[in-house]
Amino acid sequence: MKKTVLKNIASNLSNQIQKNNPFHLFCSIALLLILFSSCSSDNSAQEDAEAVNTTACKKRPGKIDFGRDNSEIIYNAQDKPIKIITTVFNPAGPKEPPMKRVYTIEYNAQGNAEKISKSIDNHEESQYKLEYNSSGKLIKQSQFNATGVLTAYTTAQYDGKGVLTGIITHNENTSADVTCEYQYENGILIKKSIQNLYDLDSQEYYNADYSYTYFLDKENKIKTYFEGPIGLLFISDLTNKQSLQYLADESNYQLFYARETSLENKMLKNIEIIAYRYNTRDTTKIDYSYDYDAEGFPTVQRVNYENTTRRYVSTPFGGSVFLVTPSNNYVLKSLNFSCN
């Protein structure tokens, strides 16, 4: 409406200039200035509303685009996710159809997640059942396969202040439990030590140490998919990995899946992993850097991943050879949060 009036006034103003009518010219200019000021105020209010809405979407996103990949999140009335649909493309096969994972979450009367179902490409893969202590801390999660058979369970330990100090994962198909111990410095997680990881190639157990550093001046403002206790689903999922792991998929997804502990409130800068296997210190380094918007939310994530793969490979003549393959991978992905 106001744009139409402004257009009419502009046309009238042009006519007054041509007719050289000072009074009408003055009135037209005055009205034009008033309407222009009103439109500017409306635009400013609209921009403020859009800014508030954008911030709300970052804190409670309905969709997150992470490079080509994306996740859709459905919430309940308490703003807790009840369904997360992730679409992930294979970087090594960009023309392949993406993998779609669906996590369905059920909560108990206290608002804690008690059951999670995971399906891949419309086929249920596993279910998790969670148990809590009187303080609401997760103390056990049990994993079942699609047919309902127990395959593994994890228990968690805390100190007197409720800080996670360790987890133990028992797999029904292995003879040794995987244990994790956490170390902190000034309230920040700096090290995780894991015992009894299993290497499928060498068919041996080994230990590993994870060391962490952070950008201490940058707060991690992203609310992870499984923040808090549900993150143990992925942190403890060691028995399904052939080798070293940090999170559910690749190292570049650390922003979204789960923080190791609730004390991780800074942006992760580096992970160094030392695996004591093959009679050597098998070292992996993962470096992170980010671009941020004016509110401090990351808009770009860069990951540099350096490691050496060691494995036994069968030969056509029988027996096997031991291959050592160094690699350096770099990943850059943009981030976008939206309400739908």
Cα(277)–Cα(205) distance, integer angstroms: 8
Q: For residue range 27-80, list pLDDT tens digits in order.
A: 443 433 444 455 555 555 555 445 445 778 877 888 888 888 888 889 999 888
* 323 DSSP β-pair partners: 311
DSSP structure class, residue 340: -
Cα(238)–Cα(171) distance, integer angstroms: 9
* The pairing of beta strand 123-132 with beta strand 138-145: antiparallel
| Residue found under tokens 């470096």 | 287
CA-nearest of 142, 183, 178 to 164 is 183
Structural tokens at position 101: 């994972």
Structural tokens at position 129: 């059942």
Percent of the chain at pLDDT above 70?
72
Q: For residue range 73-131, list pLDDT tens digits in order.
A: 899 998 888 998 888 888 778 788 988 888 899 999 988 889 989 888 888 888 989 99
Q: Which long-range contacts (CB under 8 A, 24 or more apart) does 38-46 make?
A: 38/2, 39/2, 39/3, 39/6, 42/2
Percent of the chain at pLDDT above 90?
9
* 118 DSSP β-pair partners: 103, 126
Q: For residue range 147-161, list pLDDT tens digits in order.
A: 999 988 889 898 988
Mean pLDDT of the chain: 76
Q: What CATH architecture applies to the domain 61-338?
A: Beta Barrel (2.40)
How many CB atoms neighbour CB 76 within 10 A? 13
pTM, entire model:
0.73
Structural tokens at position 257: 């899946």
Cα(336)–Cα(340) distance, integer angstroms: 11
Q: What's the sign of the alpha-carbon dihedral 237, 238, 239, 244?
A: positive
Structural tokens at position 77: 């009335």
Asked if 245 and 210 touch (Cβ cutoff 8 Å), the reply is no
Cα(203)–Cα(196) distance, integer angstroms: 12
